[in-house]
Amino acid sequence: MTTIMKRQFMRPVMLGAALTLSSGLAQAGDQSPWQSGEQVYAKVCGHCHEAGIGPTIKGRNLPPSYITAIVRHGFRAMPAFRSSFIDDQALKSVAEYISTSPATQGKE
Ligand code: HEC
C-alpha cells in the first residue's frame, strides 16, 4: 500500500526536477536557441530600442543586473520576457553586450 502510493507520488516530482535541471543548465550555443547577446539585441530589443519606441540603452553603462531585472519583470511600457523565450545564459550575454557597447551612431 505505502509503496504504491510512494511510486505514484514520486513520478511527477522527479519529472519536474529533471525539467528544471535541464533548462537551468542551458548554455548559449548548446541548448540555447540564441547564438550571442548581440543576436538577442538585434532580434528582440532592437525592435524597440533602436526604433525610438524604447529609450537608448547602449552606451550608458547600465549595470547588467539592472538590465536583466527589467527584461524579466518588465518596466512600465516595456513587456517582460520569460526564460522560455530568452534563457538565463542568453539574457546574461545580452545584458553584458548592452552594458559594454557604445550607443548606435546616428541615433539621438
Ligand atoms: C516592445 C518594445 C520593447 C522591446 C522588444 C524591448 N523593450 Fe526595453 N523598453 C521598452 C520601453 C517602451 C521602455 C521604457 C519604459 C518606460 O519608461 O515606460 C523600455 C525600457 C528598458 C530599459 C530601462 C531603460 C532606462 O532608461 O532605464 C531597459 C534596461 C530595457 N528596456 C532593456 C531591454 C532589453 C535588454 C530588451 C531585449 C531583451 C528590451 N528592452 C526589449 C520597450 C521594449
19-77: per-residue pLDDT in tens? Answer: 444 444 444 456 789 999 999 999 999 999 999 999 999 999 999 999 999 999 999 99
Among residues 78, 80, 90, 103, the one annotated as catalytic is 78
For the chain, list the domains and their CATH numbers. 2-100 (1.10.760.10)
The finding on whether 26 has its CB within 6 A of some atom of ligand 1 is no
Nearest CA to ligand 1 atom 34: 45
**pLDDT score at 3:** 55
Please say whether the dihedral angle defined by the alpha carbons of residues 49, 91, 70 and 18, taken in this order, is positive or negative. Answer: positive
Measured between alpha carbons, how far is 82 from 18 in angstroms, rounded to an integer?
19
Burial of 52 (0-12, 13-18, 19+ CB in 10 A): exposed
For 91-108, what is the mean pLDDT? 89
The finding on whether 71 has its CB within 6 A of some atom of ligand 1 is yes
**pLDDT score at 45:** 98
Using an 8 Å Cβ cutoff, are 104 and 54 in contact? no
Among residues 5, 77, 90, 103, the one annotated as catalytic is 77
The finding on whether 54 has its CB within 6 A of some atom of ligand 1 is yes
